[in-house]
Amino acid sequence: MTTELHPAAEPLDLLGVGVGPFNLSLAALADGVPGLRTAFFERNHEFRWHPGLLIEGTTLQVPFLADLVSLVDPSSPWSFLGHLKATGRLFPFYFAEKFHIDRAEYDTYCRWAAEALPHCRFGHQVDAVAWDEERQAFAVDYTYESAGGEEVLAGREFTRNLALGIGTEPSVPALFRPLVEDAAVTALHSADYLTHRQSLLAKRHVTVVGSGQSGAEVFLDLLRARPAGAEGLQWISRSPAFAPMEYSKLGLEQFTPDYTRYFHRLPERTRDELLPAQWQLYKGVSADTLGDIHDELYRRTIGGGWPDAVLRPATGVVGARRPDGCDGRIELELEHTQEGGCETLTTDAVVLATGYTERPADALLHGLAPFLVRDSAGRPEVDADQRLVLDGPVRGSVFVQNAERHTHGVGAPDLGLAAWRSAVILNALTGREVHRLPSRTAFTTFGIPPVSGPSGTAASGTGASDRAAGSAARA
């Protein structure tokens, strides 16, 4: 890998900050676009996708077609099938008849693409971004550190446009932070589960907090690994039930470009009211995982008795502490959200499956803060083409990925929209249809159709061509 300590004479067309699946998709679809000069900076020294949750046997919740490129360009050499061909595994995959691949295999595929794509630069930490009026480009200050740490170099790169794909970070509720930071107890976010799995298995009692997919997978993995009758597990959730994720075919159409465009044009207040009501689209548990948990629990009753595994919905944690002289144990104050009663649970370890939050970009974009247009809640406005709305002298575009749920809806973090969103960005960036996008993607018509056909029905699912909705008005 070569590192430029001094900027090139000509600014880049696009510099991506972060190399997760979304910016990796952008890099893959940008590869080979004539005349487009790009670079993608990642502070880690290799591609990493939720390494603490690559539990054996867990699968993606989206089909393998939700790879980096296929839903836009299935002929791309960077597709998942292209990966299988390149690694000599296409026929085994054909006979495996798998539509949902293992998470570990998805990680391997992305790692293969990240290592092979020529413009992904690892070990590059972006420190600051500012607008350079003279060059009419963004000045990006970064630090390069070699994998072994022997070499640390500072540099600056200029680019006409940015793509922020800095991703999310584990969300740890405030009442648990002192415990997570306390080396004398075992309390961790599920993002670090595999790192601590062996120590968790050695504990007499483990409590999992959070009822989403990660919580279910951690609970199931611990349950399978512990002896019958001595499971020593509790699974706690504030949600009223361990509910399945919405996975009906028409329900999933809320993860289409059609719905994203519809959501974006709704008033801010309506969007904010709608998002919490859609929790089962992304916070539930797959029906297969819930079935696997029930099956495992049932098998443990065959010899008589019940497993020592307690599932507690409608239960919130209102207090958490390490009592004095308790030999590393943890006390949780629990409150039943429906009955109202309280109790104390003593456990040896806590795994927090409490989700993720968008990683704030305010520090990174400090130099652009005066130009950012914000909504009534102080959140950055994002236009239909995935661009931050800027007011002032800035002429370049700052595109964002997975930082726009408040403007683009539940599909923002969904892998199935990665390729389409990348194509929208590239079309907007180049001002032409680099990637042709479909004009309709759902059977459902969302909202009032703006254009009617001869019979009074919508002429298309969105009433707008995807050239307008994708290249010049994205999402």
Domain end, chosen from 356, 376, 401, is at 356
| DSSP element (H, E) containing 319 | strand 315-321
**Which position has the higher pLDDT, 2 or 315?**
315
d(CA 382, CA 372): 10
Instruction: Tell me: pLDDT of 449 over 90.
Output: no
Q: Quick one: pLDDT at residue 5?
A: 55
Asked whether residue 69 falls in the same domain as residue 150, the answer is yes
CA angle centred on 414, ends 210 and 463, rounded to 5° = 130
Q: Model confidence over 267-313: pLDDT tens digits?
A: 999 999 999 999 888 888 999 999 999 999 999 999 899 999 999 99
DSSP annotation of 57: T
Asked whether residue 54 falls in the same domain as residue 139, the answer is yes
Q: Quick one: pLDDT at residue 149?
A: 85
Asked whether residue 18 falls in the same domain as residue 66, the answer is yes
Asked whether residue 48 falls in the same domain as residue 102, the answer is yes
Q: How many domains does the chain have?
A: 2
β-pairing verdict for 152-159 and 137-145: antiparallel
pTM of the model as a whole: 0.91
Asked whether residue 163 falls in the same domain as residue 174, the answer is no
Asked whether residue 72 is domain-assigned, the answer is yes
Q: Quick one: pLDDT at residue 280?
A: 87
Residue 378 near residue 372, CB atoms below 8 Å: no
Asked whether residue 121 falls in the same domain as residue 188, the answer is no
Asked whether residue 6 is domain-assigned, the answer is no
Domain end, chosen from 325, 356, 387, is at 356
Confidence of residue 319 (pLDDT cuts 50, 70, 90): very high
Asked whether residue 98 falls in the same domain as residue 23, the answer is yes
Asked whether residue 260 is domain-assigned, the answer is no
Q: Give me the residues paired with residue 390 across strands.
A: 372
Asked whether residue 453 is domain-assigned, the answer is no
Q: Which of 412, 382, 408, 385 is nearest to 469 (CA)?
A: 385
Q: Quick one: pLDDT at residue 226?
A: 96
Q: Quick one: pLDDT at residue 77?
A: 97
Asked whether residue 134 falls in the same domain as residue 194, the answer is no
Asked whether residue 32 is domain-assigned, the answer is yes
The half-sphere exposure of 59 on its side-chain side, counting CA atoms within 13 A, is: 13
Asked whether residue 423 is domain-assigned, the answer is yes
d(CA 475, CA 468): 10
Asked whether residue 143 falls in the same domain as residue 183, the answer is no
C-beta neighbour count of 380 within 10 angstroms: 21
Q: Quick one: pLDDT at residue 325?
A: 74
Q: Model confidence over 354-393: pLDDT tens digits?
A: 999 988 888 889 999 999 999 999 999 999 999 999 998 9
d(CA 475, CA 304): 55
Confidence of residue 7 (pLDDT cuts 50, 70, 90): low
Confidence of residue 475 (pLDDT cuts 50, 70, 90): very low
Joined tokens for residue 164: 């922020």
Asked whether residue 267 is domain-assigned, the answer is no
Percent of the chain with pLDDT over 70: 93
Structural domain of residue 237, as residue ranges? Answer: 170-245+283-356
Asked whether residue 198 falls in the same domain as residue 341, the answer is yes
d(CA 447, CA 454): 19
Confidence of residue 472 (pLDDT cuts 50, 70, 90): very low
Q: Quick one: pLDDT at residue 231?
A: 97
Asked whether residue 158 falls in the same domain as residue 202, the answer is no
Find the CATH number of the domain harbouring 153. 3.50.50.60
Domain end, chosen from 341, 356, 371, is at 356
Instruction: Tell me: pLDDT of 28 over 80.
Output: yes
Average pLDDT, the chain: 92
Asked whether residue 289 is domain-assigned, the answer is yes
Q: Quick one: pLDDT at residue 360?
A: 82
Q: Where do we find the tokens 């995935």?
A: 386
Asked whether residue 374 falls in the same domain as residue 241, the answer is no
